[in-house]
Chain A
């Protein structure tokens, strides 16, 4: 199959553009190819399938927007929107705040700080399934559980962290913050490293308070890093899946069901691939919209 490269056409194009124009694309080709095969093609297929009643062996049936109306009218999906927003927002903001606090605390060159930073970063590189199992143990709903034994010492509890439908979503959120804060910390640390030291010195001479230093020097200086963190967190927050799936599976009583766990159940427990594709496409559109919006706000902010 190596002959598929249309040699004459390619030569003509290469001739017109010259070597210089082609070489960068050749270097990009492996990455592009991987993206095409593993990202863009499945994505296009997903969008295509969302218009069908998918039955690979009986012939897919075109049903237009039926999948979309079914998904959007399903009250469990509607509930999931609320959970996704609460979890996504809480988890993103919590992880950014905690990540920022960690970055401020752990910024510096000392060896002890390096070790600490590595230790703090560990949650971000641990498999989410493992983290989920760990937190299940910590959340164990009797005084044998780590958190509950702590509460027990204070004369409180035991708290049903995962089995109480009013608390389960927040328990999941806490785990999400724990996972993602160190990740944000690393990006923010890079931002902090770029802050002009002379500004701090000048501020110290002017005798500003800690809060003023943060507000008028640190935050404006790390704004680009913050924006990256915010964009990433928005996207991640909306398509949250693994954290919920490994910790509660969407339960109890659907109280932690988010958009993606719903789509997963629809696709793989109920074998409704068309509906699951439609749900995923809706999420894709919303994510795209939000990303564009964050970008727009950032550009407007920069221009100002």
Chain B
């Protein structure tokens, strides 16, 4: 009995191995078939269904114009999907995703370098905007597509009811927030309103993304270039300690109701208090304008520049770049698509329509956001981007830096008894370690 059982094993292994080889061969065959068509580009964007509809319109116009087909994939968990595609060494041809990810992608070798001169219409993008796509080795790795800066969305009707003005400084913002929380601006007789919405979770680095504007306004930096191509961690500066202490004491550990309940575990998709009509301020990107026009309603809120801190009113600027996947072999078609996307026609298409716009501030300098949309609020955003904004440094792999900063900020805001200076000191050491991992530490 025992002998017989043992002798079955080879048969089983053989059968299994044969079947496995069969499927493996089929798998690779069908995978390459889709990408072999030279006239079809696989394009990925990180989009929900609503903005994806805008992209579809843009790509349809491109196909009509050039005959190049687009296999469009809106991907919500973009980076997870991209990592698994990278492991098969078969990337999408063109990707449109956040500016802050360029260093990370380039560091992994996922991107083709780009010569700006090879993109038709490249001269309509300003030198300053182009400079934001220069990688660590001095080459360009992305083509600017859309830019934005954070602004303050604030409930106009609540301000009027309480006889207040839109805040222009941190102090004013704090008093408005307290008034929103305590003086019943929605008039239902219940204490169910909050000052401002904060996506303060460390998940996906949200705390750092939202907190960056405050850091800039307080005169702090997360990492600083030293002019020699390397960086130093800067979160232990006096300005950083002062800023983070102010945020902690006033927004998270001060009076109840200044921020929405659950702020420290909220990500942007769960921080819906502004739409829900129970929070009065939200510092966020302009893509939300379309959403907020429906709820709470276009007449109920206004878009104003961010209140200034001790060092100014700079906000976080970010946006999307067009990236070409490494080793895809369809450079000509990719360049044609990029040229269309940055052309006035391509940009206008992506800025208008009934769905969420995918180009916020156009990178094409011949266009004006407020004029294209016939909406003066967009000039507030454009002005913030042009005059008072800073991006995350684009050359290093910023993903670990952002995540570590978010982890630390979230912890500082959670434990009200902690010592900010020593906690930021620890963060600074972690950041120095991140830079060292990339051989970028001064």
Interface residues, chain A, with chain B CB atoms under 8 Å away: 1-2, 4-6, 9-10, 13-14, 16-17, 21-22, 25-26, 28-29, 32-33, 36-37, 41, 54-58, 76, 136, 140-142, 144, 160, 162-163, 165, 168, 248-255, 265, 267-273
Cβ-closest chain B residue relative to A158 = B261
B73 interface residue, CB < 8 Å from A? no
Most buried by A among B14, B205, B263, B265: B265
Cβ-closest chain A residue relative to B7 = A17
Which one of B82-90, B137-145, B291-299 is at the A interface? B82-90
Interface residues, chain B, with chain A CB atoms under 8 Å away: 4, 7-8, 10-12, 14-16, 18-23, 25-26, 79-80, 83, 86-87, 89, 91, 104, 108-110, 192, 201-205, 261-265, 267, 270, 326-327, 397, 399-400, 403, 407, 410-411, 414-415
Cβ-closest chain A residue relative to B326 = A57
Contacts of A163 in B (CB 8 A): 261-265, 414
In the assembly, what is the distance between CA of A295 and CA of B90, in Å?
43
CB of A144 within 8 A of CB of B22, answer no
In the assembly, what is the distance between CA of A265 and CA of B414, in Å?
20
CB of A29 within 8 A of CB of B16, answer yes
CB of A269 within 8 A of CB of B192, answer no
Contacts of A165 in B (CB 8 A): 414-415
CB of B108 within 8 A of CB of A55, answer yes
CB of A36 within 8 A of CB of B7, answer no
In the assembly, what is the distance between CA of A141 and CA of B256, in Å?
12
In the assembly, what is the distance between CA of A16 and CA of B11, in Å?
10
CB of B20 within 8 A of CB of A254, answer no
CB of B399 within 8 A of CB of A14, answer no
In the assembly, what is the distance between CA of A265 and CA of B83, in Å?
13
CB of B20 within 8 A of CB of A21, answer no
B252, chain A: closest CB distance, angstroms: 10
Given contacts A57-B326, A136-B270, A268-B80, contact A37 B23 (CB under 8 A): yes
Given contacts A21-B11, A269-B403, A273-B83, contact A251 B18 (CB under 8 A): no
In the assembly, what is the distance between CA of A6 and CA of B22, in Å?
11
In the assembly, what is the distance between CA of A141 and CA of B361, in Å?
37
In the assembly, what is the distance between CA of A249 and CA of B10, in Å?
46
CB of A29 within 8 A of CB of B15, answer yes
CB of B201 within 8 A of CB of A249, answer yes
Q: Which of B10, B21, B410, B415 contacts A251 (CB 8 A)?
A: B410
CB of A250 within 8 A of CB of B108, answer no
CB of B261 within 8 A of CB of A269, answer no
CB of B400 within 8 A of CB of A270, answer yes
Q: Which of A6, A41, A54 contacts B18 (CB 8 A)?
A: A6
Cβ-closest chain B residue relative to A273 = B83
CB of B415 within 8 A of CB of A253, answer yes
CB of B16 within 8 A of CB of A251, answer no
Q: Which of B10, B19, B108, B263 contacts A58 (CB 8 A)?
A: B108
A-B contacts, 9 listed (Cβ < 8 Å): A25-B8, A33-B16, A33-B19, A37-B20, A249-B202, A252-B264, A254-B410, A269-B205, A271-B104
CB of A251 within 8 A of CB of B14, answer no
CB of B22 within 8 A of CB of A254, answer no
Additional A-B contacts beyond A57-B108, A268-B79, A268-B83 (12; CB < 8 A):
A1-B21, A17-B8, A28-B12, A29-B15, A37-B20, A57-B86, A140-B261, A163-B414, A249-B267, A253-B202, A269-B79, A271-B397
CB of A33 within 8 A of CB of B20, answer yes
CB of A1 within 8 A of CB of B11, answer no
The 7 closest A-B pairs by CB, nearest first: A249-B203, A57-B109, A253-B411, A253-B414, A58-B109, A141-B261, A252-B414
Given contacts A17-B7, A249-B265, A270-B400, contact A6 B80 (CB under 8 A): no
In the assembly, what is the distance between CA of A56 and CA of B327, in Å?
12
CB of A32 within 8 A of CB of B16, answer yes
Given contacts A21-B4, A251-B264, A253-B415, contact A271 B108 (CB under 8 A): yes
CB of A270 within 8 A of CB of B399, answer yes
